[in-house]
Amino acid sequence: MRSNKVNAAAGLVGAVVLGLSWAVPAAAAADGTAPQEAARAVRFCGVDRTTGLGVSAGTDVSCGAALGVAAAYTRVWQRAGGAPVDVHTDGATWACRERRGDPDPYQECLDVNDGGRRVLLTS
């Protein structure tokens, strides 16, 4: 009888913890926007030919420019050994680096003259 009470109590605690984890909102992105807002701020542009990673861009970056940034970055990214890299394409300089994702990391490039313009590479 006691083991049934212990099992029931453990199950109840687990259900409460699980329920609370769904109720806690996800952390805000680095720029203060909620993850859902940040996700809506980009659109899928295609796949990088070298790495096969998906390329997405903010609405203020053309898909052609985003694919160009991704191509420039993937040419030098492996040699950088994980360090941030600046790439130059179409007259703009982009600061690129790996970011922590949930669950997987992703690559992000920001226009150094306009940090709101961004390109993402994801698996």
Q: How many domains does the chain have?
A: 1
Q: Which residues on adjacent β-strands are paired with residue 3?
A: none
For 21, half-sphere exposure in the C-beta direction (CA atoms, 13 angstrom radius) is 6
pTM of the shown model: 0.66
In a domain, 116, yes or no: yes
pLDDT digits (tens, 9 = 90+) for 8-61: 444 433 333 333 222 323 334 444 544 445 555 899 999 999 999 999 999 999
In a domain, 9, yes or no: no
In a domain, 58, yes or no: yes
In a domain, 23, yes or no: no
Using the structure block, give the residue that is written with the tokens 């212990």.
Answer: 6
In a domain, 1, yes or no: no
In a domain, 17, yes or no: no
Q: Which domain holds residue 55?
A: 34-122
Between CA 10 and CA 6 the distance in angstroms is: 6
Q: Which positions ≥6 away from 45 have C-beta within 8 Å? A: 55, 56, 57, 63, 66, 67
Between CA 78 and CA 98 the distance in angstroms is: 11
Q: Retrieve residue 94's tokens.
A: 């982009």
| Structure confidence at residue 77 (pLDDT) | 87
Mean per-residue pLDDT, 84-100: 95
In a domain, 74, yes or no: yes
Q: Which residues on adjacent β-strands are paired with residue 54?
A: 47, 122
In a domain, 4, yes or no: no
